[in-house]
Amino acid sequence: MKKKTVSVNDRMQRNYRYECSEPIGRNFDPEFRPELSPAEMLRLGVFGGKYMTDCKGEFPASWFDRAKLATNGKDPSLNYFGVDASQPLSEWRRKGWIHPDDPRGWFQWYCRYHLGRRSPEEDARRRDFTINGMFFDPPNDAVIDFVGGREDLAAGIVRAIGDPAQRFAEDRLRLLRAIRFATVLDFEIEPVTWEAIIQAAPGITAISAERIREELVRIFLSPQRVRGWDLLDASGNRVGVLRPHHVERAEHDEIDRALDQFDAACVSTRSHSGEHERTSLVRQVETRQ
């Protein structure tokens, strides 16, 4: 596609320009799987309708068809759930969640990304972990690293990029991805990242069963599966993802029994003699979820 340059001059940003190099709503990073488009979020009254009311010209007019926008200040009644679900911009600044390119915060970033803006640095800062935020430049045979991934890879550390709480709020599946990386690679999870995983664990049930299953199978089929189980347990994610509220009632009891057996085996058996039994139980879970 032909690249498009967007010029921005609004209340919060002057003389800013960016280039859209991808089609609208397509060719996202493989790790980025948004469930709602900007247009859908605007129709749901995101931020009480007080968002982008002064910069609509930057984005397609179709995004604002049926959008719930406030005429004056923020109006929580416009929110789909009828609640005030946003924090003041000053709080976002205090926590370091605002990037200079996007002074309105994450939704502005998402709208521009959805519109087609791309850059290696931008993609890197929105990925999950430093060891997963590097790029390879084939023409120059070089690794591009904006987030300290090489150092963490050498040290065997799983560390969230930027603020861990924000990374996990963007996609709760990252809670399981952190545990999967630590399990498969035999890495340690950085303390601040680990604490954020524990704090965010109750939200894991919002993730679809299909996405959860993909991560669990990789954890359970790893040679370090016992450590993976322990990390799931210690972080508070085990009950949320392994008690099968995602499946039909007819499958519930059988899966629950298999998981209870797997739980007991992982706690009581740490020797090679129990490896075959644990593998068998893991495969029961894999085939029934």
Given this model, what pLDDT does residue 266 score? 57
Given this model, what pLDDT does residue 249 score? 47
Listed ranges 96-105, 186-195, 221-230; the one with the highest mean pLDDT:
186-195
Given this model, what pLDDT does residue 72 score? 83
Given this model, what pLDDT does residue 272 score? 43
The residue extents of the domains of the chain are 4-118, 143-288
The label of the residue with tokens 């039994």 reads: 277
> What are the tens digits of pLDDT across the range 138-161?
888 888 899 999 999 999 999 999
> What are the tens digits of pLDDT across the range 243-280?
545 444 443 444 454 455 455 555 554 444 444 444 44
Query: Distance of CA 131 to CAs 73, 75, 201, 207, Å?
Result: 42, 41, 22, 23
Residues 187-212 have a mean pLDDT of 92
Given this model, what pLDDT does residue 262 score? 54
Given this model, what pLDDT does residue 241 score? 78
Q: Which CATH number fits domain 143-288: 2.40.40.20, 1.10.20.140, 3.30.70.360, 1.10.110.30?
A: 1.10.110.30
Whether the CB-CB separation of 28 and 112 falls below 8 Å is answered with: no
Whether the CB-CB separation of 219 and 228 falls below 8 Å is answered with: yes
**Rounded CA gap, 244 and 265, in Å?**
19
Residue 220 has pLDDT above 80, yes or no: yes
Given this model, what pLDDT does residue 256 score? 53
